[in-house]
Amino acid sequence: MEKVHTENFKLEAHYCRQIHEKGGVAIFVHNNLDFSNIDIVQHCKEQDIEICALKLSFGTLNICVLILYRDPSGNFSNFLLTLKHHSSITIHIHTTVHYLWGHKH
């Protein structure tokens, strides 16, 4: 993933699969933005749940960005357990939480 270059953006958070090909998640951040990484790689399990996260700072406003992916062949129960764990952490840390969900058909 480090080979991808986009003008004015840097790869700042990512998870790449080690065993299976063609998978993982990434967050590219514009060069002018203030951010800090959130280390959650230890919760990744190939195909079950692949996640990365960071916190963007805009003055007194902080926004946590969490990117996750579950391969259709992954373990859905494991995905839900990990997601529940991170949702609880997010809700306890921040007073306002917004989720944007998407999936591949």
Residue 44 CA to residue 82 CA, distance in Å, equals 9
pLDDT exceeds 70 at position 105: no
In terms of pTM, does the model score above 0.85? Answer: no
In contact, 25 and 40? CB cutoff 8 Å = no
Q: What is the pLDDT, as a whole number, of residue 9?
A: 92
**Residue 7's beta-bridge partner residues?**
none
Q: What is the pLDDT, as a whole number, of residue 30?
A: 92
**Where residue 98 falls among pLDDT bands split at 50, 70, 90?**
low
Mean pLDDT for the chain overall: 78
C-alpha atoms less than 13 angstroms from C-alpha of 63 in its C-beta half-sphere: 11
What digits encode the pLDDT tens for the residues 49-92? Answer: 888 888 888 888 888 888 888 888 888 888 888 877 766 555 44
